[in-house]
C-alpha cells in the first residue's frame, strides 16, 4: 500500500578524484591493483540465483602485459543462455511489480557502493583488464557509472511525472509499463560504465536482462555484478553470460520474448543484429526495441581564426586519451594551411613528452591497446601509410607487442581527404590531418559532412562567431555531439547526453530521459466517473 510520494536525491556529477602523490585514494588503488594483479580470479556465469563456473574457461590477460594471467572466465553453452533467459522471465512479474522507489533504492545503493567501498576495486579492474590509466578508469568506471545510476533515477521520476491532462468527469493516467519480455544488453570493451548502464538503465525501468559483456571487459563486469548483488538486486533481474557472442545472440534473438536490444559496439555487429531481428520479425510477441550506439569517425575542424594551442591540445587529448579507443576519439582533423606549421610544431613538442607503459605507472598518459586483433589492425593502417604516396607519418608510427600491445601516438598527414585513415574507424592512437586552403573553409565543411558514413562527434574550433553559426548549420547532421572550441570526446552524463546518427547508431542518448523511454511501453488508463447511459448525441435531438 502506498501512503506517500517520495523524492529522489538530486545529483550533480560524481566528483573526479585527483590521485595526487601521497593521497589516500592513490595509495588505495595502487594496493588494490597490486593485490588483484598477484592473485587469480575465476569468474562465473550469473544465472538466476546461481553462479556457474564452467569447465571451458578463457584466461584474462592485461593488454599491457599479455603473458600475465590474472584470472579466468566461464564460457557458456547454449543451455546456459536458455536458462539465463528463463531465469529472467521467471522473476519478471515480481520485479515489474516492485515499487519504483524500491528499484531506485537498489540502484542508489549500487551507486554509493561504487563511489565508496568498491571505487578502488572497480578502477583497478578497469586498469588491469582494459588497460586504462587511473584517470581514464576514474572518469569511466567510478564517476560515469555513478552518474548513470543516479541521473537515471531522476529521469525515471520525471518520466513517471509526465501525465496527460484530465478534463471533466474522467481520469487519465499513463502507466509506464516495463517491456513485456526481456531485454538483451550487449556491451563493448571500452567503457566499464557502459557495461553497467546498458543493463541497469533497462532494469531500473522494471525490465529483466540478459547481459553479454565484451570478452575484454569481464574483470570489471564481475565487479559490477558484485555491486548489484550487494545492493540487493534480486537474483535473475540481470543475468550475465560470457562466451561466443554469435551463439549467445542467436539464442537471444530466436526467442519470441525478446522485447529489446540495448547494444553498444561496432557498426557492423549492430547491423547484423538488426538484420537478424528483421528476419525473425514474425516470431516475436513485441516489436523489439533496438537501441544501438556504434562507431564513429570523429572530426576536429580548425577555422583560420582558431587558437593553435587550443587546436593542438584538442587533437592530443581528443585523439590519444585511452589510446584513441573511444567512440568519440578525434580521428580526422582539418587544418587551415596558414596554421599548419605552428600546430605541427606544438604537436611535436607536446607529443614528445607523452609517456607510454603500464597503467600502474601514473606518469604514463598512454597504455596498451585492447588486444592482438586490434593491434594488428592498427599496425596495418600505419604500415600502409609508410607505403602509400598520398599520406605520410608526421609523428610516431612505432609499435611493439613484445610485452603489451603498445602503439605510439601517431599523427598522419594526407593530401587525400578520402584517404583510408580519414574515412574508416581505426580505434587506436592514430589521427590523420588534412590541410585545406584558408579561403576554402566553407567548402571544407561540405567535405567533413560527406567524407564518412558516421555521425557521432565533431568539434569546430574558431574565434569567429559567424563561422561557428555557419558550421552549426552546415554540419547539422554530421555529429550527434557537437563541440565548439573543445575536443570532441569526454561527454559527461547529465551534461552532454551522448549518441550519434547515420552509421553511428540510433541516437537514443545514453544517460538521458530519451534512452529510458525506450524501455517502457506506456499504457493509458481512462476512467469515466459518470458514464453515458444511452447512445444519441445532443446534436441528434
Ligand atoms: P564489438 O562490436 O567488437 O563488440 C561489442 C559487443 O558485441 C561485445 O560484447 C561483443 O562480444 C559483441 N559481438 C561481437 N561480435 C558479435 C556478433 N557477431 N554477434 C553478436 N555480438 C557480437 O565492439 P568493441 O570492440 O567491444 O567496442 C568498440 C566499438 O564500440 C567501436 O566501434 C566503438 O566506436 C563502439 N562504441 C560506441 C559507443 C557509442 O556510444 N557510440 C561507445 C563505446 C563504443
Q: Mean pLDDT across the stretch 314-319?
A: 98
pLDDT at 2 exceeding the cut of 90:
no
246 CB near ligand 1 (under 6 Å): yes
Residue closest by Cα to atom 9 of ligand 1: 214
Cα(479) to ligand 1 centroid in Å equals 19
What are the angstrom distances between the C-alpha of 381 and each of 153, 315, 335, 388, 426? Answer: 43, 19, 22, 10, 8
Cα(188) to ligand 1 centroid in Å equals 4
pLDDT at 6 exceeding the cut of 90:
no
Which atom of ligand 1 is found nearest the CA of 265? 30
Most informative mutation of 266, 331, 374, 489 for ligand 1 (most atoms within 8 A of CB) = 266
- Of 376, 386, 390, 393, give the one whose Cα is nearest residue 430: 393
131: left (phi over 0), alpha (psi -120 to 50) or beta: left
507: helix, coil or strand?
coil
- Provide, for the chain, the percentages of residues in helix, strand and coil under a 3-state DSSP scheme, each rounded to the nearest 5: 40, 20, 40
pLDDT at 378 exceeding the cut of 90:
yes
Q: Mean pLDDT across the stretch 205-215?
A: 98
Q: Which residues pair with 526 in a beta bridge?
A: 172
Residue 5 pLDDT: 83
Quote the CA–CA distance of 369 and 362 in Å, as a whole number. 17
Which atom of ligand 1 is found nearest the CA of 212? 9
322 CB near ligand 1 (under 6 Å): no
Comma-separated ranges of CATH 3.40.309.10 domains in the chain: 298-484
Task: Give tens-digit pLDDT for 15-26.
Answer: 999 999 999 999
CATH fit for domain 24-294+505-524, picks 3.40.50.1220, 3.40.605.10, 3.30.390.30, 3.40.50.720: 3.40.605.10
3-class secondary structure per residue, 234-270: CCCCEEECCCCHHHHHHHHHCCCCEEEEEEECCHHHH
Residue closest by Cα to atom 22 of ligand 1: 245
294 CB near ligand 1 (under 6 Å): yes
Cell numbers found for residue 480: 550527434
Q: pLDDT category, 459, cuts 50, 70, 90?
A: very high
Sign (positive or negative) of CA dihedral 504, 509, 510, 515: negative
Task: Give tens-digit pLDDT for 150-208.
Answer: 999 999 999 999 999 999 999 999 999 999 999 999 999 999 999 999 999 999 999 99
pLDDT at 541 exceeding the cut of 90:
no
Q: pLDDT category, 322, cuts 50, 70, 90?
A: very high
489 CB near ligand 1 (under 6 Å): no
Any residues with CB less than 8 A from the CB of 10 and at least 6 apart, and which? Answer: 154
pLDDT at 404 exceeding the cut of 80:
yes
pLDDT at 1 exceeding the cut of 80:
no
pLDDT at 4 exceeding the cut of 90:
no
Mean pLDDT in the chain?
A: 97
Which of these is catalytic: 14, 77, 144, 293?
293
424 CB near ligand 1 (under 6 Å): no
Percent of the chain residues past pLDDT 90, beyond the cut: 98
Task: Give tens-digit pLDDT for 409-443.
Answer: 999 999 999 999 999 999 999 999 999 999 999 99
pLDDT at 3 exceeding the cut of 90:
no
Which of these is catalytic: 327, 463, 466, 469?
327
Comma-separated ranges of CATH 3.40.605.10 domains in the chain: 24-294+505-524
Cell numbers found for residue 77: 553453452
Task: Give tens-digit pLDDT for 78-126.
Answer: 999 999 999 999 999 999 999 999 999 999 999 999 999 999 999 999 9
Contact 200, 148 (CB under 8 A): yes
**Fold of the CATH domain 298-484:** Aldehyde Dehydrogenase; Chain A, domain 2 (3.40.309)
Q: Mean pLDDT across the stretch 387-416?
A: 98
Residue 500 pLDDT: 98
214 CB near ligand 1 (under 6 Å): yes
- The answer to whether residue 293 is catalytic is yes
Sign (positive or negative) of CA dihedral 93, 95, 100, 101: positive
For 126-178, the DSSP string reads HHHHH---HHHHIIIIIIIHHHHHHHHHHHHHHHHH------SSEEEEEEEEE
- Of 129, 111, 328, 320, give the one whose Cα is nearest residue 213: 129
Amino acid at each position: 500500500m502506498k501512503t506517500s510520494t517520495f523524492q529522489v536525491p538530486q545529483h550533480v556529477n560524481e566528483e573526479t578524484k585527483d590521485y595526487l602523490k601521497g593521497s589516500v585514494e592513490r595509495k588505495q588503488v595502487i594496493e588494490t591493483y597490486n593485490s588483484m594483479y598477484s592473485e587469480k580470479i575465476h569468474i562465473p556465469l550469473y544465472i538466476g540465483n546461481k553462479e556457474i563456473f564452467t569447465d571451458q574457461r578463457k584466461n584474462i590477460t592485461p593488454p599491457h602485459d599479455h603473458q600475465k594471467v590474472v584470472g579466468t572466465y566461464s564460457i557458456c553453452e547454449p543451455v546456459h543462455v536458455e536458462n539465463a533467459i528463463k531465469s529472467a522471465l521467471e522473476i519478471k512479474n515480481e520485479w515489474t511489480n516492485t515499487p519504483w522507489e524500491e528499484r531506485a533504492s537498489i540502484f542508489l545503493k549500487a551507486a554509493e557502493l561504487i563511489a565508496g567501498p568498491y571505487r578502488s576495486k572497480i578502477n583497478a579492474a578497469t586498469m588491469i583488464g582494459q588497460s586504462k590509466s587511473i584517470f581514464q578508469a576514474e572518469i569511466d568506471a567510478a564517476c560515469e557509472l555513478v552518474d548513470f545510476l543516479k541521473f537515471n533515477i531522476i529521469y525515471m521520476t520525471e518520466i513517471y511525472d509526465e501525465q496527460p491532462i484530465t478534463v471533466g468527469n474522467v481520469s487519465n493516467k499513463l502507466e509506464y509499463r516495463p517491456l513485456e519480455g526481456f531485454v538483451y544488453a550487449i556491451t563493448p570493451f571500452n567503457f566499464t560504465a557502459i557495461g553497467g548502464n546498458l543493463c541497469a538503465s533497462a532494469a531500473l525501468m522494471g525490465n529483466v536482462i540478459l547481459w553479454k559483456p565484451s570478452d575484454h571487459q569481464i574483470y570489471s563486469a564481475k565487479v559490477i555484478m558484485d555491486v548489484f548483488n550487494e545492493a540487493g538486486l534480486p537474483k535473475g533481474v540481470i543475468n550475465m553470460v560470457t562466451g561466443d557472442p554469435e551463439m549467445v545472440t542467436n539464442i537471444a534473438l530466436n526467442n519470441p520474448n525478446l522485447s529489446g536490444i540495448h547494444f553498444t559496439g561496432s557498426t557492423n555487429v549492430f547491423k547484423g543484429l538488426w538484420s537478424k531481428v528483421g528476419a525473425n520479425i514474425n516470431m516475436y510477441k513485441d516489436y523489439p526495441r533496438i537501441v544501438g550506439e556504434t562507431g564513429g569517425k570523429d572530426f576536429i575542424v580548425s577555422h583560420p581564426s582558431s587558437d593553435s594551442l587550443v587546436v593542438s591540445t584538442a587533437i592530443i587529448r581528443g585523439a590519444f586519451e585511452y589510446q584513441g579507443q573511444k567512440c568519440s576519439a578525434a580521428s580526422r582533423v582539418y587544418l587551415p594551411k596558414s596554421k599548419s606549421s605552428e600546430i605541427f610544431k606544438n604537436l611535436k613538442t607536446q607529443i614528445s613528452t607523452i609517456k607510454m607503459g603500464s597503467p600502474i605507472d601514473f606518469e604514463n598518459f598512454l597504455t596498451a591497446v585492447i588486444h592482438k586483433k586490434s593491434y594488428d589492425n592498427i599496425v596495418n593502417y600505419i604500415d600502409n601509410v609508410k607505403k602509400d604516396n598520398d599520406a605520410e607519418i608526421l609523428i610516431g608510427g612505432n609499435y611493439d607487442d613484445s610485452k603489451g600491445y603498445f602503439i605510439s601516438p601517431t599523427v598522419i598527414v594526407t593530401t587525400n581527404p578520402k584517404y583510408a585513415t580519414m574515412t574508416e574507424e581505426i580505434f587506436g592512437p592514430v589521427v590523420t590531418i588534412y590541410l585545406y586552403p584558408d579561403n576554402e573553409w566553407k567548402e571544407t565543411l561540405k567535405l567533413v559532412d560527406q567524407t564518412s558514413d558516421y555521425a557521432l562527434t565533431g568539434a569546430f574550433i574558431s574565434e569567429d562567431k559567424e563561422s561557428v553559426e555557419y558550421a552549426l548549420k552546415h554540419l547539422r547532421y554530421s555529429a550527434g555531439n557537437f563541440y565548439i572550441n573543445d575536443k570532441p570526446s569526454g561527454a559527461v552524463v547529465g551534461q552532454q547526453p551522448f549518441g550519434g546518427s547515420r552509421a553511428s547508431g540510433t541516437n537514443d542518448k545514453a544517460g538521458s530521459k530519451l534512452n529510458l523511454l525506450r524501455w517502457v511501453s506506456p499504457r493509458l488508463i481512462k476512467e469515466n466517473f459518470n458514464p453515458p447511459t444511452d447512445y444519441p448525441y445532443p446534436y441528434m435531438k
